[in-house]
Amino acid sequence: MPLSHLLLAVLITFIWGTNFVVIKVGIGAFPPFLFATLRFLASTLPWVFFIRRPTVPWRTLATVGVLLGAGQFGLLFFAMRADITPGLASLLMQSQVFFTIVLAMIIRRESIRPLQVMALLLALIGITLIGWHTLGRPDAAITGRGFVLVLGAALSWAVANMVVKAAGQFNMLAFMVWCSLFAVVPLALLTVWADSLPVLWSAVREAGAAAWVAVVWQAVGNTLIGFGVWNWLLLRHPATAVAPLSLLVPVFGMSAAALVLGESLPAWKVVAAGLIIAGLSLNFVAAGAARRAG
C-alpha cells in the first residue's frame, strides 16, 4: 500500500474514532434509530438528485445499505444508548477486522501469512483484556446485551466489506449516496417500532444545534467521506491489508472519549491499546514481506 493511501486510511480511522463522541451527542438528543435514520437520510438527500447511480446492480446497493444502516449503525447506536461507553464501543467494533479477514479467506480465498496471524492474535489479546476488565462486573461499562449488539454491528460491517469488494470498480461517492437510500426505509421502520410518534416529534422539535451538527457530521464526514474513502481503498488493496488499519479506531476513540467525555483511561486500557498498535505494526511488516516475496 503506498504511503499516501496509508495516510488516507489513518485519517479515516481518526474520523471514525473521534466520531464515537459525536454519536454520544446525537443519541443524547434523538432516539438511536431516529438518529441513524436522520444520518442516512442526510447522506442521500439532496445528493441523490445530482449524483448519477454507480454502475452496480440494485441488489448490491440495497444489500450494503441495509447492512450499514440497520445492521452496523442501527445496532451500534442502540447499544450506545445505555449498554456500552463510547470508548469501549470504538474498541469492540474492531472485531470486524477478524470477521472481514475470515470471510476474505473463506469467500475470496485471500491468503494470510503467519506474521499476520500473530498480529491479529496480539490485537485479539488487547480486545480480550478489555472484556476481562469490564464484561459481567457490577460497575462494568458494557452489558451483555451491549456486547452482543456491537458484535452484530461489527459482523454487518464485515459482510458489507465483502459485498463491496466483490462489486468491482465504481465511483465510491456515488455508491455511498445511493446505498444510503436503501438504509433509510429499514431504519425508519425500526424507528417507529421502537418509539411512538409523539416521542419522535418531540425529539426533532427540541433538538439543539449540537444535535443537528452531529447528524450532518455523521452523514458527510463519517458516511460519505469515511466510508467512501474506506471502500475505495478496499477496491485497490487486499481486505487482509486494509481491514487491520481500523484497529487504530479504538485508540482514537478511547482517547477522544477520555478527553471530551471524561471516560476513565486506566492502565489496563492503555496496555490494551498498546497491544492493538503492536498488532497493527506487525501486520504492516507482514504485508511488506508479502510484497517483496511476490
Residue 237: pLDDT band (50, 70, 90) is confident
pLDDT tens profile 138-172? 656 677 788 889 999 999 988 998 888 787 777 78
17-28 pLDDT tens trace = 888 888 989 998
Residue 169 lies in a domain: yes
Q: What is the pLDDT of residue 171?
A: 79
- Kindly report the number of other CB atoms within 10 A of residue 236's CB atom: 13
Of 146, 171, 159, the residue nearest 77 (C-alpha): 146
Domain that holds residue 197: 3-113+142-260
Tell me the CA distances in angstroms from 151 to 239, 247, 274, one per residue in order.
19, 15, 22
The answer to whether the beta carbons of residues 129 and 271 sit under 8 Å apart is yes
| Cβ count within 10 A of residue 267 | 7
The verdict on residue 161 lying in a domain is yes
C-alpha cell at 2: 503506498
118, part of any domain: no
Over residues 94-142, the pLDDT tens digits come to 778 778 778 877 887 777 778 778 888 887 888 788 777 766 666 566 7
Give the per-residue pLDDT at 291. Answer: 60
212 contacts: CB under 8 Å, gap ≥ 6: none
Domain-located, residue 119? no
Cα 163 to the chain's mean position, in Å?
15
Residue 128 lies in a domain: no
Is 211 within the bounds of a domain?
Answer: yes
Q: What pTM did the predictor assign?
A: 0.82
User: Is 19 among the domain residues?
Assistant: yes
**Residues 199-215: what's their mean pLDDT?**
92
What's the structural domain count of the chain? 1
